[in-house]
Amino acid sequence: MKIHPLITDTDSLAQLCDRLAQSDFVAVDTEFMRENTYWPELCLVQIGNLEEAAAIDPKAPGIDLGPLLDLLTENHDVLKVFHAGPQDIEIIFNLTGKTPSPLFDTQIAAMALGQAEQIGYANLVESWLGLTVDKGARFTDWSRRPLEARQIDYAIGDVTHLAKIFPKMLDKLRRTGRGAWLDIEMEKLGDPRQYKPDPDTLWQRIRPPGRSAQILGRMRALAWWRETEAQDKNLPRGRIMKDETLADIAAHPPSTQAELGKVRGLSGAWRENDIGARMMDALFAARPLTAAEMPPKSPRGPALGKEGALVADLLKLLLKIRSREIDVAARLLARSDDLEALAAGVRKGLPILEGWRFEQFGRDALALVEGRMAFAIADGRIKMTRTELAVEPEEVVVTAALAEQP
């Protein structure tokens, strides 16, 4: 594999992208800094295939990233391969308003092949290539210039290894027939809505101090104001105002800007500065949430209760057994929220009752909660057995208690 010198000019970048455009796939990675900014600061882009790889300096004077961004977002014939790609994809989306397409994430694929949930890159390289990744430059300040040779070598290694791993993964996915399992996951990864936060819904990420429509309305207005301030100033949200302070102001709103000096988490300058004035304007303009806008009391569906909790435990045990049997990460098959919803009686809108998840796990999970399947012990191992007649709900609970015994 040919490793090019650091690319710092548009002509060299365009020539590289022209060659890579003839590939079936390219491995992509980025280095960025975002500790002190709202928008991640792109500091380096690495890209390559099995023949060549290069690092590109987006901070080089006069360089135009257009050829690279066109390859990533406009060329739909070349598959873009990432590892744990959301943050890389977010940066590309911020620059173009588009996500790379088509794309593939080796961290997600690893779960379908029985590897750990959210496997790290170093562990992935070791398991597939038998190599140890040098982590010496892991905590580099990538915004500083000039970059040292060891830093560039470290960064390029992220795509040279990935380019070798991907064909091996693809071959195993084809042999196991699990490639189709990943289609929906990759579609979610490439959904632009994931990378464009909606200021009107950001308040829902903050722990509310109560369920009052007035308090939640103020939270929504303050979260929208904070997001706008953070974007305009290019500062992290927490630098503008921490979640706890925002929620406290929503619950106990000051009547005048002068009272902001008494709010825990704010400096005395808020009593008379411009940002304090804008926050008070947002607070005064807030309106209570309507009944339709109020969040559900129980987003997971009906309350489980004691009996339902036992059934949920049974489903989690079934998930462990099935994931072990088919050698797939349990998280890819089902999430705890879905299992609890199924135990509580929910039957619509659950991923485990659709597509390949239903075939591999959901059908048996449904049979278990409906009394058509039970646990048994054979040769010291727990296995599933189908019952000829549906058992009563009380019998399912008894089975749960027995299954939990050592």
- Give catalytic status of residue 198 as yes or no: no
What is residue 240's predicted lDDT score, i.e. its pLDDT?
97
Q: Please, where are the H alpha helices in 136-273?
A: 149-176, 183-189, 213-233, 237-240, 243-251
259: buried, middle or exposed (CB in 10 Å: 19+, 13-18, 0-12)?
Answer: middle
Is the CB of residue 301 less than 8 Å from the CB of residue 341?
yes
Catalytic residue among 57, 88, 338, 364: 88
Rounded Cα–Cα distance for residues 274 and 253 (Å): 18
> CB neighbours (10 Å) of residue 178?
20
Decide: 362 and 353 in contact? Cβ < 8 Å.
yes
Q: Is 136 helix (H, G, I), strand (E, B) or coil?
A: coil
What are the structural domains, with CATH classification, of the chain? 1-192 (3.30.420.10), 200-283 (1.10.150.80), 304-384 (1.10.150)
The CA dihedral of 31, 32, 33, 39, to the nearest 10 degrees, is -170
What token pair was written down for 273? 């500065």
Alpha-carbon gap, residue 351 to 341, rounded angstroms: 11
DSSP string, 186-204: HHHHT-GGGGS--TTTGGG
Catalytic annotation on 18? no
Q: Which residue of the set 57, 90, 105, 158 is catalytic?
A: 158
Query: Exposed, middle or buried by CB within 10 Å (0-12, 13-18, 19+), for 318?
Result: buried
What are the per-10-residue average pLDDT scores of the chain (406 residues)?
97 98 98 95 98 98 98 98 97 97 96 90 96 82 94 95 97 91 92 90 92 96 97 96 97 96 94 97 97 76 71 93 90 92 91 93 93 85 72 43 42
Catalytic residue, chosen from 29, 90, 105, 227, is 29
Q: What is the pLDDT of residue 101?
A: 94
Provide the pLDDT for residue 300.
46
Does residue 158 carry a catalytic annotation? Answer: yes
CA atoms of 25 and 47, how far apart (whole Å):
10
Do 103 and 80 meet the contact criterion of CB atoms below 8 Å apart? yes
pLDDT of 383: 77
In contact, 24 and 78? CB cutoff 8 Å: yes
Give Cα 376 distance to the centre of its chain. 37
Number of Cβ within a 10 Å radius of residue 366 = 18
Known catalytic residue at 195: no
d(C-alpha 181, C-alpha 195), whole Å: 23
Handedness of CA 136, 141, 142, 148 (dihedral sign): negative
**CA-to-CA distance for 345 and 226, rounded, in angstroms?**
39
Where do runs of H (alpha helix) occur along 32-97? 66-73, 86-96
Q: Which of 90, 121, 154, 364 is catalytic?
A: 154
Provide the pLDDT for residue 304: 63
Give CA–CA dist 219/216, Å, rounded. Answer: 5
* CA 49 and chain centroid, separation: 25
Active site residue 31: yes
pLDDT at 297: 72
For residue 82 the two structure tokens come to: 């990432």
